[in-house]
Amino acid sequence: MKPRNNFWAAFGYAGRGIWYALRRQRNLRVHVSVAMAVVWLAWVGHASRWQWSALTLAMALVLSLELMNTAVEAVVDLASPTFHVLAKAAKDASAGAVLVSAGASVVIGLLVFLPQLGHFGQDFMVRWHETPWLVGGVMAAMAAAYAVLWGKVPLRQAHEGGQNRFGETP
Catalytic residues: 66
Spatial separation of the C-alpha atoms in residues 71 and 64, rounded to whole Å: 11
Using CB atoms within 10 Å of the CB of residue 115, give its burial: 0 to 12 exposed, 13 to 18 middle, 19+ buried. exposed
Q: Exposed, middle or buried: residue 48 (CB in 10 Å: 0-12, 13-18, 19+)?
A: exposed
Cβ neighbors of 10 (< 8 A, separation 6 or more) are none
